[in-house]
Structure 1
Amino acid sequence: MALKLLQNGRLLTRAFQNLHITPTTSTIFAKNNDLNLNFSRNTSFFVKLPAEDLWKGVTSVSNAGRKRGRAKGLVRRKDLNRGQVIGVGKANIQWPGLSAPIIRGRELIQRQQLPPDPEREAKLIKMRDAMSSKGYQKLSPLDRGWTGAKLGGRSIGAPDPIGDDNFEGFDTKVIEYKQVFNMKGNLGRKRRLSAFVVTGNHNGLAGFASAKAVDGKAVLRKAKNRAAQKLMYIELCDGHTVFHDFFCQFGLTKIFVEKKPEGFGLVCHRAIREICQLVGIKNLYAKVEGATGVQHIVKAFFLGLLKQKKFEEIAESKGLHLVEFKPELGNFPRVVASPKVCRKEDDIKYDEIMDYTQVAMNGKVVLKRKKYPPFYANTYGYHIHLKKLEGRRNHFKIKFDMLKEHGTIKSFLTDKYPDARPHGFILRDAYLKKKAEGEETSAE
């Protein structure tokens, strides 16, 4: 082999036998000083060691340092092969049989240069960093639970099918996910994971269960499949709420639940809200008193849902008609249930509880916060306002009661003096009277 160099406009050819190489130096000296070559090292610290040793130098810590908490701020290992696909690189080329099918329909695909993808490097970096910061991929805000870092409130899907039975339309929410420890005589402190979940089909079927296992995926699968075997049917009132207000208790946990009209929403504890969504309840108010452990809250609320009484059962137990007043219907009375034999007024005892709320709450009364007077209650201007308002302070309530009872605003003098009614109603009555006379004339 010969070296061909162009020097001073002429071609120099030197054979290796004319070179004198000194072993202790990295320089080649040619005869007559015509040729000088320098060798360079092609190995370094970053190429000499494998990737496993390089990552170990960045991510490892001694056992003594780990006990002192020095392992918390270490860099997590990145998978540099994540997102790399065979046949796809910086040069965006379509390779038939590798990165693209050979035949597309009736078209034979040829190798071709595609337009460059400027976001490829950014996507690879984002994909690699997703598992490096905290050990899990960032979730969408809609997929998060009660917090961004824990499993509480997160959906884990429907239970696994049992034979030919598929749980279509079901969903499972994690209520509690924690570590539990048990001291063994031969194994020492044994660590396991505990999960408490609720599953439901958003249409009255729901169940809850807890499970323990060593692996996280195993404990979630075990808990949701166990909850699917303990389903309970809960009937809904009008398809969106409970039948009546009720009180329920489990241990030291007490819950007061109130029925609410459509559009109110779910104003309650977050564990109760998850249960309501899985059962199908859309409007409800619940107040929790006492202990606030989520397992006791779930058990107490399920007990209250199962102990609900239908309207027919309440009417039959009291022997009276059950009448409902709804604000959205103008508080118009509506009989929702009637007993087979209705009691008379003489049959009702003087000390019998007739308040529907106390009957539904089983004699319990919600402790409501005391209402304090506003800051302007003792001012001079507010007292003047009350004096001016004294003559008409109950007008709105009286108008409302008149419309509810008589359908119009009138007093005991209205029959004798027809003008003794509000001005707007006089015009309305005259208009209705004139309209009725016109209809009679047209009918004739």
Structure 2
Amino acid sequence: MSFCLRSINKTIQHTIATSRWNLYPILSQVKVFSSPKIIIGNSTRNTSFFNKLPADHLWKGITSVSNAGKKRGRGKTLARKKDLNRGQVLGLGKANMLWPGLSAPIIRGKELVERQQLPEDPEREKKLIQLRDKMGALKSYKLSPLERGWSGNKMPGRSIGPPDPIGEDKFEGFDTKVIEFKIVFNMKGNFGRKRRQSTFVVTGNKNGLAGFATGKAIDPKAALRKAKNRAGQKLMHIDIFRGHTVNHDFFTQFGATKIYVSQKPEGYGLVCHRAIKTVCEVIGIKNLYAKVEGSTNVQHIVKAFFLGLLRQKTHQEIANDKQLHLVEFSKDNEYYPKVLASPTVCRKADEIRHHEVMDFTQYCYDGRIVLKRKKFPIFYTKHKSWEVHLKKQEYLRNLDKTQTYLRAEYGELKSFLTEKYPECRPHKVPPKEKTSEEE
């Protein structure tokens, strides 16, 4: 590319001659060439090729297959797309700081949240490496049996740790478990269909202190954190009878959900709906039976169960209400009567009205009856061979109970003819003689 500057020189000389202005400063900045020069220009690229394309286009280059190739079965062993930002949460890093407005709400309740240092997680880097190693794998990520929830890797039933500390108050000994984890939609006039994650959790210290709450957010982790912290602010105290069960049987209801709860002895376990079992674990109840009737909405089940726990009466309140002694007959105590509470003024037998409910279970259930499934006889009881079997085993009926009674009464198995006929005694196996090696 070449330029000629001779015509420019003539134009400048003509302008100087005809102009009244002083153009020496201008001419001092203009460099006039007497001969033409050749200027060579090279095209340059100031940006990299990789900076122009997003990550999805780059991953597409090594993970995509044409439609014709998919039909022929190609691309089954290609690399899988990996999310290199997985496990990295905005506002949470190695320092593990609590940033208001970023990793925590600005206002919690009536308190303004301040920046604070949370306990360090020594296994943070290890968990990130495990997440990245498992990315792109064909098989799904498996949890250990202790970390699993109600069904596989899904969130309901899983533990998410204690709520975040509020100021100097730390939730030591608390554990939070997820009850419900679902996606909800809300239609807006200006934003359209708004999608959010809804979580329902329950938290407790396994010693009678528990609470539940709901949290909604676009990010699932934010929804879990919000619900967990709200549950920590709504704690309720619940009485636990002898540290393992409820005070008494009770009936509770919320909406269309009805629950009949029964008190059980130690060692019975939690025989109930899985949502009630999860609530009992965080509260500290170990032995319980609960029958759910009607709707099985987990939120209604949890709310109904908490209502029943809070409406429990103490034994003294029951005794004062009925003006009678409250006596316990337990199988563990060989049904020996034990007085649990006595009223200030006790009624006599002639003062009790004929239509009054005296059954303790009916009194606790407020006159309701549990709907039980009808029990049908076992199929083989209708056969003729079963009748023959019963006739053959007739002489052995109650044999175990009779032997136990005789040993307790006489110290040995004997009958009323033993004194007259000493040979009417069971054969005793002689003790085994000890060998020299055993001695």
TM-score class, shorter-chain normalisation, is 0.5 to 0.7
1:332 equivalent in alignment to 2:302: no
Deviations 1:252-310 (A, max 9, x none): 11111111111111111111111000000001111111111110000011011111111
In the other structure, the counterpart of 1:179 is 183
Q: Measured at CA, do residues 286 and 423 of structure 1 come closer, stay the same or move farther in structure 2, by a change above 3 Å?
A: farther
Q: Distance in 2 between matches of 1:230 and 1:396?
A: 55
Query: In the alignment, which of 235, 253, 258 is matched to residue 249 of structure 1?
Result: 253
> Cα offset for 1:384?
4.2
In the other structure, the counterpart of 2:136 is 132
Task: Give the counterpart letter for 2:339 in structure 1.
Answer: V
Q: Distance in 1 between matches of 2:359 and 2:168?
A: 50
In the other structure, the counterpart of 2:153 is 149
Task: Give the counterpart letter for 1:219 in structure 2.
Answer: A
> Cα offset for 1:149?
2.9
Q: Which runs of 5+ in 1 are unaligned?
A: 1-47, 63-72, 83-123, 411-418, 428-444
Specify the SS of the correspondent of 2:332. helix
Q: Distance in 1 between matches of 2:234 and 2:283?
A: 14
Q: Measured at CA, do residues 297 and 397 of structure 1 come closer, stay the same or move farther in structure 2, by a change above 3 Å?
A: farther
Q: Distance in 2 between matches of 1:291 and 1:79?
A: 41
Q: Measured at CA, do residues 320 and 392 of structure 1 come closer, stay the same or move farther in structure 2, by a change above 3 Å?
A: farther
> Cα offset for 1:133?
3.4
Report the structure, 1 or 2, having the larger strand content.
Answer: 1
Q: Distance in 1 between matches of 2:378 and 2:178?
A: 43
Identity value in percent: 62
Q: Measured at CA, do residues 341 and 388 of structure 1 come closer, stay the same or move farther in structure 2, by a change above 3 Å?
A: farther
In the other structure, the counterpart of 2:376 is 372
Specify the SS of the correspondent of 2:379. coil
Q: Distance in 2 between matches of 1:367 and 1:423?
A: 53
1:324·1:335 contact (CA, 8 Å) conserved in 2? yes
In the other structure, the counterpart of 1:320 is 324
Q: Distance in 2 between matches of 1:362 and 1:356?
A: 10
> Cα offset for 1:382?
3.0
Q: Distance in 2 between matches of 1:395 and 1:289?
A: 42
Q: Distance in 2 between matches of 1:164 and 1:81?
A: 33
2:142·2:153 contact (CA, 8 Å) conserved in 1? no
Specify the SS of the correspondent of 1:277. helix
Q: Distance in 2 between matches of 1:125 and 1:335?
A: 61
Q: Distance in 1 between matches of 2:186 and 2:79?
A: 32
In the other structure, the counterpart of 1:271 is 275
In the other structure, the counterpart of 1:169 is 173
Query: In the alignment, which of 203, 209, 215 is matched to residue 207 of structure 2?
Result: 203
> Cα offset for 1:376?
2.6
Task: Give the counterpart letter for 1:289 in structure 2.
Answer: E
> Cα offset for 1:134?
7.5
Q: Measured at CA, do residues 300 and 127 of structure 1 come closer, stay the same or move farther in structure 2, by a change above 3 Å?
A: closer
Specify the SS of the correspondent of 2:279. helix
In the other structure, the counterpart of 1:224 is 228
In the other structure, the counterpart of 1:287 is 291
- Correspondence 1:75-154 to 2 at 5 A: 76-78=80-82, 128-133=132-137, 138-154=142-158
TM-score (norm 1): 0.63
Task: Give the counterpart letter for 2:338 in structure 1.
Answer: R
Q: Measured at CA, do residues 153 and 371 of structure 1 come closer, stay the same or move farther in structure 2, by a change above 3 Å?
A: same
Q: Distance in 1 between matches of 2:187 and 2:139?
A: 29
TM-score (norm 2): 0.63
Task: Give the counterpart letter for 1:277 in structure 2.
Answer: E
Specify the SS of the correspondent of 2:261. strand
Runs of 4 or more above 3 Å deviation: 48-54, 58-62, 73-76, 78-82, 124-129, 133-138, 384-400, 419-424
Q: Distance in 1 between matches of 2:417 and 2:262?
A: 39
Q: Distance in 1 between matches of 2:298 and 2:368?
A: 23
1:249·1:255 contact (CA, 8 Å) conserved in 2? yes
Query: In the alignment, which of 281, 293, 301 is matched to residue 297 of structure 1?
Result: 301
1:409·1:421 contact (CA, 8 Å) conserved in 2? no
Q: Distance in 2 between matches of 1:174 and 1:142?
A: 15
Q: Measured at CA, do residues 423 and 375 of structure 1 come closer, stay the same or move farther in structure 2, by a change above 3 Å?
A: farther
Specify the SS of the correspondent of 2:381. coil
Q: Measured at CA, do residues 377 and 141 of structure 1 come closer, stay the same or move farther in structure 2, by a change above 3 Å?
A: closer
Q: Measured at CA, do residues 134 and 360 of structure 1 come closer, stay the same or move farther in structure 2, by a change above 3 Å?
A: farther
> Cα offset for 1:388?
6.4
1:130·1:138 contact (CA, 8 Å) conserved in 2? no
Query: In the alignment, which of 240, 243, 252 is matched to residue 244 of structure 2?
Result: 240
Superposed CA RMSD: 3.8
Query: In the alignment, which of 191, 195, 199 is matched to residue 195 of structure 2?
Result: 191
Q: Which runs of 5+ in 2 are unaligned?
A: 1-48, 67-76, 87-127, 423-439
Task: Give the counterpart letter for 1:170 in structure 2.
Answer: F
1:399·1:409 contact (CA, 8 Å) conserved in 2? no
Specify the SS of the correspondent of 2:363. helix
Q: Distance in 1 between matches of 2:59 and 2:229?
A: 40
> Cα offset for 1:56?
2.3
Q: Distance in 2 between matches of 1:209 and 1:125?
A: 33
Q: Measured at CA, do residues 188 and 126 of structure 1 come closer, stay the same or move farther in structure 2, by a change above 3 Å?
A: closer
Task: Give the counterpart letter for 2:319 in structure 1.
Answer: A
Specify the SS of the correspondent of 1:225. helix
Q: Distance in 2 between matches of 1:361 and 1:127?
A: 51
Q: Measured at CA, do residues 339 and 210 of structure 1 come closer, stay the same or move farther in structure 2, by a change above 3 Å?
A: same
Specify the SS of the correspondent of 1:327. coil
1:247·1:361 contact (CA, 8 Å) conserved in 2? yes
> Cα offset for 1:58?
3.6
> Cα offset for 1:191?
0.8
Greater shift, 124-133 or 238-247, is seen at 124-133
Q: Measured at CA, do residues 376 and 261 of structure 1 come closer, stay the same or move farther in structure 2, by a change above 3 Å?
A: same
Specify the SS of the correspondent of 1:315. helix
> Cα offset for 1:148?
2.5
Q: Measured at CA, do residues 81 and 377 of structure 1 come closer, stay the same or move farther in structure 2, by a change above 3 Å?
A: closer
Q: Distance in 1 between matches of 2:133 and 2:246?
A: 47
> Cα offset for 1:396?
8.0
Specify the SS of the correspondent of 1:328. coil
